[in-house]
Structure 1
Amino acid sequence: MKHLLRVAIVPAYLVLCLVLGGASGGGHWANMVLQLLALPLVAAGVLIRRNTPMASAGKQLMWLVAFSAALVILHLIPLPPALWTSLAGREPIARGFQMLGQPLPWLPISLAPTRTIASALWALPAVAILFGMFRLGAFTPRWLAGALISVTAVGVGLGALQLSGGETSRLYLYRIANRNAATGFFANTNNMAELMVVAIPFVAALYLAAVRKGSSVQKRSGVLIILLGALAVLVVGIAVNRSLAGIGLAVPTVAATALMIFFRGRRVPVWGGAAIVALLGASIALVLSTPFGNNLTTDAARTSQSSRYTAFGTTIEATKDYLPLGSGVGTFPQIYPMYEDPQRVDRWYMNHAHNDYLELALETGIPGLILIALFLLWWLWRVVRVWRADEPDQFARAASIGAAVILAHSFVEFPLRTAAISAVFAVCCALMAEARSRVRSKSSAAAERTQARHLSAD
């Protein structure tokens, strides 16, 4: 019983993240609860010593997390006037103090330190999941996949009820949300669609794991029926959701999942990966074509103040002015309005750039871009290792597909700014890095029956 409670920690926390962490700008009380619950997980991960060494891929990922945390801390350290005034984009601030006749104070790199702290706290759930999986081993892959699929299916049902109630339905969980759409536990339809797409390969992973365990035909048939029902719910949910991003990402995801099943016991040939990349490119090109009415490549997008086309161009312009160190983590809402055309501003505002890579380039400059590049190299290396393994880990393959969906979606959205999607992304990265669940050996079980103390293995 004690062992079951232990391995349920991360799956249970993932469920909370999916239910409570569905908005980047709203749900402050719910996100505060998730952040407070994350602290014991992080503390335990730091203080408790592992029984076995962490895999090299896990160490590399944790070092990237450490470097990211160091960058945030660096943005909060007060600098002498001679230093911060030499940074790009600080001239108006220095001029303001001079106009007031005030001496220049010590200031940090971040132009909005409180926003930087808030952004760091927003990342706590994802960090807690990494610590829980790498340091504590408080999970099993099957339970994580089951939690993800179950909550997603419930979210589809909630979305159907939201649609039936119309835009005034009380079932929408956030005051600012995509009304008249199936958002589920999210404020944004795109994020709900993304979660449904990410869940698809984990359905296949659960089935392949059941088959591999050598269970009876009756049990495998029962599992297959249940998982096919879950898959049908996800497909219907994606269709009802009507998110262009969800539809575009679903096509290559289903194809990659088919590769998982077809090459279940052996490595995937190079042509398989090339075919998935080509299919992803074709899907993106189709979604961005004029008939679908997206707000990035159409003529209407070029004249709209609130389109992605305008947001991308304006963010790039601002980024150039704040290189090489950026404006500070979390400062986008303060910087972006300074670059908007005053004659075209309307009641809509940009809370994010709708492209996480561009937003991080503005906020963190060259150091942040280096960290992004290092992470993408790590991810690509792990994708090759996972898919070219002679004895594949099906959950790692599913996780690589899920991470790819989130990384691709981040080019036109900001999914990692929500605790729910960032938690799922952390799970995917940990599974790709061969995080080990903490399991009991037979000798441990025997020792427990005789009430003798025995250390469990990671």
Structure 2
Amino acid sequence: MKPIAGRRGLSPSRTGQGGTAADPVDHTAGIVPVVLFVAALVVLAMGGGSNRTDVASLLYVRPLLVLLLGGMLLFVEKAALRSLRVPLLLFALALAVGIVQLIPLPPAIWQTLPERSLFVEAAAAQGLPQPWRPLSLTPDLTLQALLWFTAPACALAGWAAIPRNRRIQVFVAILILCMTSAVFGALQASQGADSPLYLYQRTYEGNAVGFLANRNHQGALLAIGFPLLRVWTLLPAKTLQFARARLIMAAIGAVALIPMILLTASRAGLALGGLGIVLAAIIAPWRDIRELTGTAGRYVPLLFAAAGIALAGLIVFFGRALAFDRFLALSATDDLRVRFTPQVLSIIKAYLPFGSGLGSFDPVFRIFETEDMLRPTTYNHAHNDFFEIAMTSGVAGIALVAAGIAWWAWSGWQVFRDRSRLGIGMMLGRAGWSVMLILMLASIVDYPLRTPLLGFVFALSAAWLASAGYRPAGGVALQHGAPPVDEVGQAGSLQEFNH
């Protein structure tokens, strides 16, 4: 059987030295950082699907992440950080914004900040001297927000610590996370509101939420499954039979994701799922499918698309398409996101240029909440993370978001424009760009990235994108005529057969 060419060639070691065919293969080399990475992912799946202050699982999630992060850092080499310069810089600056907000300021300076008069009057009414206060109005919640950074830190450190020839295993782990959460959510929905499989007390009982507490967040997680499955079909395979079997499994998985998204009852998830399908289609040319399936391969995408549409139609017919029903019943006047947006924008303006402090949205919103906004439940987030970042971190947060989006757009242009290095690393870069797009769009109507689990996935996707676009200066020279080696240590083009 003719092997796929993605397996040909030897991956260089982490020191940049090439191997020889006679060298013994150490299958355990680099396994420890992979184990630490997967352990962090499991911890987040089991308890990092919500970031509320009253979630008990965070009591063990955060300490475990700190320990795992420390272990990963032991395996990080300086050279591995070069490709992650931009994500690490943005991460460090965002962390610095929160730390600066906790520095106490003298009363003479603090009282001049916008919208502090209420607190000044409260102290004066009690006859108390004005104390030194930090910029954040809620320093305890700002500290809580800073603890969130342990999740993306683990993702970036883990990617840097894992040897290039094992980075495919990281990608597969994220794909398994998506598909497992889909199955887990289906079991929750099938058992109803009293299902013991719900991991959080505050959740959407009766809906498929998987490893998360919010149905919109689950919808976003499932939507990224489509581009990930597409990249999975492009990975090197030992035999043609395995490549064909993987293609079939990926197609079945993609079709199965459609009813799983419908079961979430998430309108955003429904729209993002459609986007995920489009992104999967543009990640790479479809000629590999024809090569694997022969002349009939041109009809394979159409066949599975028809199967997905038919399955979705059955779900709608039997009344289980909760997301579709809510989409048809959508009313802007009844959506609190739309109704409260003018007030949120006024709060943003009130606290510029410094913001009210990370994590302070809930108590600060109550200060500005009018009588007609009162509800039995709390409006604990802006349901638009871009607005909430602007409100809580001011101009600094707005600048960081703008810089991050600009880097994402430029890097995306590079990885989709570059057709000279269509290796695994480039495909991972396109997948990372796609995942970031889905999660950023989800953040317009909700707050998925505030969950440690999706924050981890987002940071890892940024690492994929950064690694794909990285070209080391004065890198290791390749033999004449040899194909380029990409960031995951694989040489050769994808799904190209040796003849």
Any conservation in 2 of the 1:126–1:422 contact (CA below 8 Å)?
A: yes
Indicate which of 98, 121, 124 corresponds to 1:98. 124
Could you tell me which amino acid in structure 2 is paired with residue 12 of structure 1? A
Could you tell me which amino acid in structure 2 is paired with residue 177 of structure 1? T
Provide the residue aligned with 2:447 in structure 1: 414
1:14 aligns with 2:37: no
Provide the residue aligned with 1:333 in structure 2: 362
Provide the residue aligned with 1:355 in structure 2: 384
Indicate which of 176, 196, 203 corresponds to 2:222. 196
Task: Sort the Cα spacing of 1:231 and 1:366 in 2 relative to 1 into closer, same or farther, 3 A.
Answer: same
**Pairwise mapping of residues 21-420 of structure 1 onto structure 2 (< 5 A)?**
21-25=48-52, 28-43=55-70, 50=77, 52=79, 54-56=81-83, 58-134=84-160, 137=163, 140-210=166-236, 215-262=238-285, 292-294=328-330, 298-301=332-335, 307-390=336-419, 391-392=421-422, 393-420=426-453
Distance 1:113 1:408 in 2: 29
Task: Sort the Cα spacing of 1:160 and 1:54 in 2 relative to 1 into closer, same or farther, 3 A.
Answer: closer
Any conservation in 1 of the 2:55–2:200 contact (CA below 8 Å)?
A: no
Gap regions ≥5 residues in structure 1: 266-286, 302-306, 437-456
Distance 2:327 2:30 in 1: 54
Identity score, percent: 27
Task: Sort the Cα spacing of 1:256 and 1:406 in 2 relative to 1 into closer, same or farther, 3 A.
Answer: same
Distance 1:217 1:49 in 2: 36
Task: Sort the Cα spacing of 1:291 and 1:205 in 2 relative to 1 into closer, same or farther, 3 A.
Answer: closer
Distance 2:337 2:442 in 1: 13
CA positional deviation for 1:264: 7.7
SS at match of 2:59: helix
Task: Give the CA RMSD over aligned residues.
Answer: 2.7
Task: Sort the Cα spacing of 1:191 and 1:209 in 2 relative to 1 into closer, same or farther, 3 A.
Answer: same
SS at match of 1:409: helix
Distance 2:169 2:245 in 1: 18
CA positional deviation for 1:224: 1.7
CA positional deviation for 1:426: 1.0
Distance 2:162 2:357 in 1: 32
Task: Sort the Cα spacing of 1:103 and 1:138 in 2 relative to 1 into closer, same or farther, 3 A.
Answer: farther
Distance 1:327 1:351 in 2: 15
Distance 2:168 2:467 in 1: 14
Distance 2:205 2:250 in 1: 30
Any conservation in 2 of the 1:157–1:184 contact (CA below 8 Å)?
A: yes
Could you tell me which amino acid in structure 1 is paired with residue 411 of structure 2? R
CA positional deviation for 1:434: 0.3
Could you tell me which amino acid in structure 2 is paired with residue 408 of structure 1? L
Scaled by the length of structure 1, the TM-score of the pair is: 0.82
CA positional deviation for 1:166: 1.8
CA positional deviation for 1:343: 4.4
Aligned length: 406
Distance 2:220 2:90 in 1: 25
Distance 1:66 1:407 in 2: 20
Any conservation in 2 of the 1:10–1:139 contact (CA below 8 Å)?
A: no
CA positional deviation for 1:142: 2.5
Any conservation in 2 of the 1:357–1:410 contact (CA below 8 Å)?
A: yes
SS at match of 1:179: coil
Distance 2:54 2:199 in 1: 8
Could you tell me which amino acid in structure 2 is paired with residue 292 of structure 1? L
CA positional deviation for 1:136: 5.5
Could you tell me which amino acid in structure 2 is paired with residue 426 of structure 1? A
Provide the residue aligned with 1:274 in structure 2: none
Distance 1:120 1:264 in 2: 46
CA positional deviation for 1:139: 8.6
The one-character-per-residue Cα deviations of 1:45-98 (angstroms, maximum 9, x if unpaired) are: 666661535335x11221111111111111000001110101001111111111
CA positional deviation for 1:323: 0.9
Provide the residue aligned with 1:277 in structure 2: none
Gap regions ≥5 residues in structure 2: 1-27, 289-322, 471-488, 491-499
CA positional deviation for 1:112: 0.7
SS at match of 1:110: coil
CA positional deviation for 1:309: 1.1
The one-character-per-residue Cα deviations of 1:378-434 (angstroms, maximum 9, x if unpaired) are: 111111111112213111111111110000110000001101111110110011110
CA positional deviation for 1:135: 5.1
SS at match of 1:434: helix
SS at match of 2:79: coil
The one-character-per-residue Cα deviations of 1:252-301 (angstroms, maximum 9, x if unpaired) are: 22112111232789xxxxxxxxxxxxxxxxxxxxx99x973335xx2333
Distance 2:381 2:135 in 1: 20
Distance 1:291 1:29 in 2: 33
The one-character-per-residue Cα deviations of 1:294-315 (angstroms, maximum 9, x if unpaired) are: 35xx2333xxxxx101232221
